[in-house]
Structure 1
Amino acid sequence: MSAVPPLLDHLVLATPDLAATVAEFARRTGVTPAPGGVHVGLGTRNHLVGLGGRSYLEIIGPDPEQPEPAERRPFDVDRLTGPRVLTWAISPPDLDTAVTAARARGYDPGPVHAMSRRTPDGGLLRWRLTGSDRAHPSGLVPFLIDWGDSPHPATSGLPVLTLLEVTATVPDPDEVRPLLSALGTALVLGRGPCGLGFTVVTPNGPVTFGRR
């Protein structure tokens, strides 16, 4: 099995303090994440690092320049006690076909939603993604994303680190593997408390974030 999941679009590193986490990431890796943009109305913003090809890391946290949103911020960033690799996304060749196929194989990734964010230069990125309250609670089963006509974030001149591996632990790996297979992807799973981690090659050597 490849150490990098098939169809990987991005990894999500969520934090209650975006500025502090970006600074710590830069300290550990020697690479400063680029501002990604603002999720208008949702109360969050992000910074990005390319991981090679069409994959990237999203560091997401509360946006202090936005008012309190009407609903909970994405990924419940307000409830985190520190940075955490929460989940990941895959980008299949055809999102709708992949959703239909997954349901036929016994896993429902949830309804498809439209989202958008403003980039630092004022542009608007639009995408569609799956998700619902029925998502697997471990965060180890990815959501699906389709960037449509928008330029993919990994092609926007981001600083790049080479992704070595993505690994995870879960109490029952045999329960999660069929769900990953239904989505056409896979993940190196070990037995243990739920956790997701990744390792990148950096100017400071290999650095691991989250659970290895």
Structure 2
Amino acid sequence: MGTRIDHLVIGASNLVQGAAYVKEQLGVDIPYGGAHDRMGTHNHLMRLGDELFLEVIALNPDREPPNRPRWYGLDDPHVRQSLYNRPALLSWVVNTEYINKLLQKTRGAFGEATLISRGKLSLYFGLPDDGRLLAGGMLPYIIDWQVDSHPAKQMADAGCLFQGLDIYHPYPAWLDSILESIGAADLARIHPLPKNSQAFLEAHIETPSGPRVLRSHAGLWSTE
């Protein structure tokens, strides 16, 4: 099975704020998920398809900071300030059964396959040493679940369904070439922007109230 979209990540300064944002944007309640002790974060989770879900993530105030940078750039002061002002679509994650092979052949720096566990769930996740938000969230993280059945199947179903991902980027050829190196070029629609414009994401979700769009903050992108 090839690379596919696994989940969308909404960042928030805290989970109350993040859950309220999902309620405002999608009109549904997203239940609590759990804590990532190794990363010092916790989340809310909701399925968007049979093997695809939405995650709201924030720093966990009940845990000591980890001895390494947190994922998704959550230790970056610029990212923190942006999320403090308002939650937003922060990044996306693709799923593979061959994470080490993908990390070896990619044209980008997606980090090292790191084993992470939460309860009965176990997974390998591509983590950069500095915890940076990959290309400001425009490039996906890579996950390789070590489970028999995708966790989305056990998540709450609020009647929302993922419809597609659009990436607006000033250097579309650069972005497309890196996505192609991990088999993800056909997973998102890439739209060109004028040079030096601020890249952003849009995720299209069908909800019980009709189609909705989740957007990222512009201005978190860099060329790494």
Structure 1-normalised TM-score? 0.82
How many residues are treated as equivalent by the alignment?
199
- What's the CA shift for 1:72? 4.4
What CA distance in whole angstroms lies between the structure 2 residues aligned with 1:111 and 1:143?
A: 11
Equivalent pair of 2:7/2:94 in contact (CA under 8 Å): yes
From 47, 68, 88, the equivalent of 1:50 is: 47
SS across alignment from 2:135: coil
- Write out per-residue CA displacement over residues 64-100 of structure 1, whole angstroms, 9 at most, x where no aligned residue: 3334445544324362332121211111232222223
Structure 2-normalised TM-score? 0.78
Query: Partner residue of 1:7?
Result: 4
- Write out per-residue CA displacement over residues 145-181 of structure 1, whole angstroms, 9 at most, x where no aligned residue: 1111364320113224111121111221111110000
Query: Partner residue of 1:143?
Result: 141
Q: 1:163 to 1:127 in 2, by over 3 A?
A: same
Counterpart AA for 1:204:
S
Query: Partner residue of 1:3?
Result: none
**Structure 2, unaligned stretches of length 5 or more?**
218-224
Query: Partner residue of 1:114?
Result: 115
Q: Is 1:24–2:41 an aligned residue pair?
A: no
The alignment yields a C-alpha RMSD, in angstroms, of 2.4
* 1:154-173 correspondence to structure 2 within 5 Å: 154-159=152-157, 160-173=159-172
Query: Partner residue of 1:209?
Result: 214
Q: Is 1:91–2:95 an aligned residue pair?
A: yes
Query: Partner residue of 2:221?
Result: none
Counterpart AA for 1:83:
P
- What's the CA shift for 1:22? 0.4
* 1:162-201 correspondence to structure 2 within 5 Å: 162-186=161-185, 187-190=188-191, 191=193, 192-201=197-206
SS across alignment from 2:49: coil
Q: Is 1:39–2:6 an aligned residue pair?
A: no
* 1:60-99 correspondence to structure 2 within 5 Å: 60-77=57-74, 79=80, 80-81=83-84, 82-99=86-103
Equivalent pair of 1:49/1:58 in contact (CA under 8 Å): yes
- What's the CA shift for 1:42? 2.9
**Structure 1, unaligned stretches of length 5 or more?**
1-5, 118-122
Q: Is 1:127–2:136 an aligned residue pair?
A: no
